Structure 1
């Protein structure tokens, strides 16, 4: 009976998560790819959904480990070592939410001919910059390891008066976004930092 209740809770949680992160493609393809010569640097819905599935899989494994630990800890104290691993896996869901929210809050437009970048933001002022004139430094902040095919991270681009942060989800949209990220990685020294949870 307990397993049935747990199963129902997990199913409801899964459905709620899928609904929360529902992401639909825009029907206006031309406006995405062409805006006065600018290309939209984005993470497509298919890539986001694929990453969400992997994240939920890791999260469910973490929940199962927590349940196993709770059920067996009275008899076998050694299972306590599973808790840090379990909480680490569950943390991926919060990390996905953090990066997904960042993607939803900003749109990045890139003009390959002029190397101009225009950033539209939902909750802040829009701004523009030139890759070669205005970038002062580039960092890559990423997870300490890849877990079951998942590597979370983001680019942190330091400009003269602000910071632009771009989740790996956007960079993984290949080959569509290759030119933008190749321009950055080939012309700037990238400072790589490792974190347990690369929260933006």
Structure 2
């Protein structure tokens, strides 16, 4: 009976997530409206869906570990050691939501000829900068490890008056966005910081 209830909860949660992140048709339409000379740095629907599936897979594994802990706790106290791992895996769902929200809240346009970048934001003013003239530092903040094919992280680009944060999901869209991220990696010494949950 417990397994049936947990199975139903997982199914409902999965369907709710699919509905929440069902933005793909609008995203494909926006990507066609390119500004003259600029390329939109975006994550395609297939990449987002693939990452969401991997994330849900990790979350399910975390829930299974919690279930095992609950069922065996009375007999085997040592299974409590599984709880931190379980909560870590479940945390990937909140991490995905955080990075997904960041992608949806801004659009980044890159002109490869002039190295100009234009950032459109939903909840703040738009701004523009030149990679070689205005960037003061570039950092990478990422998870402490890759878990079952997932490595969450983001680039942090420090400007004089702005801080641009770009989820790794956009960097994984190759070869479309490769030139933009290659320009950063080839011209700046990028410091990498490790965090358990690289929340933007």
- With the shorter chain as reference, the TM-score category is over 0.9
In angstroms, what is the RMSD of aligned CA positions? 0.9
For residue 28 of structure 1, report the CA deviation from its aligned partner: 5.5
Q: Helix, strand or coil for the counterpart of 1:154?
A: strand
Query: What does residue 54 of structure 2 align with?
Result: 54
Cα distance in 1 for residues equivalent to 2:121 and 2:90:
29
> Deviation per CA, 1:4-42, whole angstroms, max 9, x where unpaired?
1111111111111111111214235531xx311100001
Query: What does residue 97 of structure 1 align with?
Result: 97
Cα distance in 2 for residues equivalent to 1:144 and 1:112:
32
Q: Helix, strand or coil for the counterpart of 2:94?
A: helix
Moved more, 11-20 or 44-53: 11-20
Q: Helix, strand or coil for the counterpart of 2:125?
A: coil
> Deviation per CA, 1:136-166, whole angstroms, max 9, x where unpaired?
0000000010000000000000001110000
Query: What does residue 37 of structure 1 align with?
Result: 37
Aligned residues: 198
Q: Does 1:88 align with 2:83?
A: no
Query: What does residue 27 of structure 1 align with?
Result: 29
Query: What does residue 166 of structure 2 align with?
Result: 166
For structure 1, the residue ranges without an aligned partner over 5 or more in a row are none
Query: What does residue 112 of structure 1 align with?
Result: 112
Q: Helix, strand or coil for the counterpart of 1:120?
A: strand
For structure 2, the residue ranges without an aligned partner over 5 or more in a row are none
Query: What does residue 3 of structure 1 align with?
Result: 3
* 8 A Cα contact 2:31 2:40, kept in partner: no
Query: What does residue 133 of structure 2 align with?
Result: 133
Query: What does residue 65 of structure 2 align with?
Result: 65
Q: Helix, strand or coil for the counterpart of 1:36?
A: coil
For residue 43 of structure 1, report the CA deviation from its aligned partner: 0.7
Cα distance in 2 for residues equivalent to 1:17 and 1:86:
20
Cα distance in 2 for residues equivalent to 1:40 and 1:6:
41
Query: What does residue 154 of structure 1 align with?
Result: 154
Cα distance in 1 for residues equivalent to 2:154 and 2:140:
6
Cα distance in 2 for residues equivalent to 1:38 and 1:137:
23
